[in-house]
Amino acid sequence: MLYPSRLSQLAKTHSEALAALLSGCLLLVGWIALHLGWTGLALLILPAAYVVGGYESAREGLTTLVKEKELDVDLLMIVAALGAAGLGLWRQEYYLIIDGAALILIFAISGALENYAMQRTDRSIRSLMSLTSDTAQVLREGREASVSIDRLELGDQIVVKPGELIPTDGLILEGFSTLNQAAITGESIPVEKTIGDEVFAGTLNGNGALKLKVHQPPESSLLRRVICLVKQAQTEAPPSQQFIERFEHGYARVIVGFGLLLAVLPPFLLHWSWETTIYRALIFLVVSSPCALMAAIMPTLLSGIANGARQGILFKNGAQLEMIGKVRAIAFDKTGTLTTGQLQVCKIIPATGFSEAEVLQVAAALESGSEHPIGAAIVQAAQGLDGSRATEVQAYPGRGIAGSWQQRSVSVGTADFVKSITDLPIELVQVTDALEQDGKTVVWVAQAQQAIGVIAIADQVRPEAARAIAQLKKLGIEQVIMLTGDNRRTAHSMAQAIGVDRVYAELLPEDKLHIIRQLQNQYKTVAMVGDGINDAPALAQASVGIAMGVAGSDVALETADIVLMADRLEKIAVAIQLGRRSHRVVKQNIVFAIGFILLLITVNFAGNITLPIGVVGHEGSTVLVILSGLRLLRN
């Protein structure tokens, strides 16, 4: 059963379609009455069809005229319809009133179809709204309590049961599960999550129960930022659309001017009758209106934005969808972008008489209380070994750390630091030289004034990095550049491994900015991909700034034009292809719209078109252009 409120909501949502339906019914009744000879009844019913079908267009057209002092398409349609009605009354040829009513009806149907088509472009975006929970189950004083999302506080512990949506971003305190993150990151395969991992609002929990800790305000969650940014994208017109809108205002004046000339001159120049002249002028107003041209761009770009969102690519506005397709060079930050940003122990080389486990255990005992990324990587690698900690620990910033463990002095640090304590075995020195040339960071470990081994640590290259760069080159990207603050040897070693063309190393944030400017002078359209605060200036300067959505800092996410929600580098190639497709479709739509307008104008001057046929051709071309734009919803 539909309740009044539900009926009211449906009427509001489909008001244009309902108005078109009622206008059509009135037109049909008026047409029947006219053919049965009931002229008086027809002249009462047909004006109602005008009012019902044309009210919204008249209101919008008059509002634009009064407030902005501009003519628009809606007002031209109403003038043409009223002109047909006036001509029909003057000549007592009442079928012209039917033509005017048909014009309004078809215009109303077109508006309803355009509205429906536009709703399709943001349907996948609006579906994100349904992923936001209103409440969360919070543990307070040992009991679960349902709390509004907006009232959650930092540090709150949330219980998420199997099959439930994650209510807000959080860190896992207890439990293990697989999460479906498709709605947020575009990843089709569920991802395993365990203690310490971050989970995102709107993702679907699998079979495991989880206890989460709220580590950031709910309004800062990834999902809410996505929704906010997409809403912003839908309200901002790209430069091409702004140009078309400016063109429309001037174009409408020209059309009105030509329409007035066409309504006055033909009887003197071409010996047309006044009735024919006015009728042709009215048809000219209809067929020359730029509806199809106005619909050539935004539906296409919004479809592309919606398609990208489904695949984990967030375009902040249509301008960036246009721009990404024109990119000729792409610059990448290294740490956190081409790499995972997480240091890992990749090799342990013990000195003669010692084992890998002994070397790692000594280093972990010293680093267990350290917050340094290298220390964290060593402690992570030592899980499962004796977890006892060293005492009397003293840090030497930039050099190393020393202390006492199991009644022996121990130290971990650079070669120079350990060399100040003991001699370095020549065989280990040779090995470390090779490791450092390969881009690894080498840590020396000493015990009781004796070097017992070295540990090689490296930031892991993203598995998809080489494949993503190969895809970009296949698409015709002329240069792939790496920008990093890391040392030259490490940067060049990694660049060679993954296929980067050019490397700039040992850079400060302002250096990255200057290099992006240099690249723009050379390649015009340059994209920058980064994740950190130090990348923000370069992201802002680039023609297109692309941020890593999961690993990226808040500053990078706010500065960038495009966000990769799943941190998958291969999505950059998808974004470029989507941008190029949108550019092709927009060009096709514009050519089709202009060509069809010229065709209808030509046929009208030849005298081989009636007002209803002109309306069908005009509105039909508009709907076809919109449907053409919706092609970008397909992957």
Distance, CA of 555 to CA of 534 (rounded, Å): 9
Instruction: Check if the beta carbon of residue 583 is closer than 8 Å to that of residue 575.
Output: no
Any residues with CB less than 8 A from the CB of 119 and at least 6 apart, and which? none
Distance, CA of 246 to CA of 256 (rounded, Å): 16
Q: Which two tokens stand for residue 180?
A: 């479906």
Instruction: Check if the beta carbon of residue 501 is closer than 8 Å to that of residue 328.
Output: no
Distance, CA of 179 to CA of 482 (rounded, Å): 33
Q: Which two tokens stand for residue 273?
A: 């009758």
- Sign for the CA dihedral angle at 8, 13, 15, 18 comes to negative
How many residues belong to the chain? 635
Q: Does the active-site annotation cover 99?
A: no
Paired strand residues for 403: 410
Angle between helices 298-310 and 222-235 (to 10 degrees): 170
Any residues with CB less than 8 A from the CB of 158 and at least 6 apart, and which? 136, 137, 138, 139, 152, 167, 168, 170, 211, 212, 213, 214
DSSP state of 334: I
- Residue recorded with tokens 């001037």: 250
Distance of CA 510 to the CA centre of its chain: 27
Active-site residue (options: 72, 333, 459, 535): 333
| 222 CB-side CA count, 13 A | 26
Instruction: Check if the beta carbon of residue 274 is closer than 8 Å to that of residue 281.
Output: no
- Sign for the CA dihedral angle at 597, 603, 607, 610 comes to negative
List Cβ<8 Å contacts ≥24 apart for 467-470.
467/570, 468/569, 468/570, 468/572, 468/573, 469/498, 469/499, 469/500, 469/569, 470/499
Active site residues: 333
